[in-house]
Amino acid sequence: MIPQACAAFSVPAFLDGPLETILVVEDEAIVCELAAEALSDEGYRVLTAADALEAEAILARESVDLLFTDIDLARNTNGIALARHARRERPDLAVVYTSGGRGSLSHGEAVAQSVFVPKPYRPSDLVALTRDILRRSNPHHA
């Protein structure tokens, strides 16, 4: 049985300013929900997918500022291949990888200027990292 993606989280419409959109790609529903909730609580618009196929469909129709993806995903899909595909379409897309099965990624595996966060991670650390990455990629929006 393939786990379903957790629901999309978004901030209330009354908040001012453009929202940065984070795509969380995680096949473990509880882990997905924790990451999405932490980011949503900080004011990010959060979309979720359980595998690379679903994530690619979201990337094709949505404007995404940061891709946060597990490496080993449902349906034998892969976050490394997903990030490469996403970067071909959006060379400036910020990418953060995560995995519980490995401690790091080699430079040859990862897309340029990406970050790797081993599991388990604290939601607060994910939020801080996301804020830092998005500030650096869009300094006038800090």
Taking 50 as the threshold, does the pLDDT of residue 5 lie above it? Answer: no
CATH code for the domain of 59: 3.40.50.2300
Tell me whether residue 88 is in a domain: yes
> Residue 140's pLDDT is what?
55
**Do the Cβ atoms of 56 and 79 come closer than 8 Å?**
no
> Residue 9's pLDDT is what?
46
Those residues whose C-beta lies under 8 Å from the C-beta of residue 26, and which sit 6 or more positions away, are 5, 6, 32, 35, 48, 50, 68, 69, 70, 73, 98
Into how many domains does the chain fold?
Answer: 1
Tell me whether residue 79 is in a domain: yes
Residues 33-54 have a mean pLDDT of 97
> Residue 98's pLDDT is what?
97
pLDDT band at 78 (very low <50, low <70, confident <90, very high): very high
Which structural domain range is residue 95 located in? 21-136
